[in-house]
Structure 1
């Protein structure tokens, strides 16, 4: 139990720290940031339950006012902005990445990690993200999807990085991937 709490807190801190990397905000008002890599890694390394808890902890801290999002944003106001769907989607994305990672034990770690990160951090994350943009910006789903398209190549790259980092961790310390325990 103690190890779980420590890892959840550590990965919540990782997600928050990745928000410190300078971001670029597109016309949609949604920034390109490294935080989704942290969400992907949370699921891939911690597994579904713990990964979702790490992402949920960050969402809770943001709601409480901590400026943990890219650009130092935080507080209840971000839940009325165009990023709301992505922010809330972090929990489902981390869970999905962990779920896929837990069920692909026969695949090499890199392939499983990249696949899990892609399915959770791109496919699952973009559903609430696009819906949130459409609602907040009062645009159609098609227009909101168009706004999301520029993010996809970078997020695919992040999924590959997540697979590579999971592989490196697995090679450096057997049993470190809680998603494969």
Structure 2
């Protein structure tokens, strides 16, 4: 029985490049944000017990999850001849939407400190990641599978952010009553 190997030698090189980009982004954002006012604000929020609050853990999780999305993107790109097949249009739209949402959501969270808006954007991001996983699965099953952990973690983030927003609203109403 011959098993078709999912990766060639060239693929491993491309996957290494696809992994370096999100890892570099996570490292730079960690170095930039670790002592910032944003982290002080974030640390002061009441978080669910299961939600990690350390910036090191957040940067590591983001690097791992975005690396899997980038690897899945490369596999989908490779197996759709550069996203030129008819089935890859949904994948390109979802990937573009996800990238745009990531940048847009950061503004609300980092600079506006708007938890409800960020939770809403993360919910949309979760839907886009799920769509991306579905679209990639149609191109190459492993590509779709690689995106799924990011969608699941995004959903968990939405749950945590929603709970944090509710707690923040309760505490602000309690402050107004006093």
Larger radius of gyration: 2
More helix by share: 2
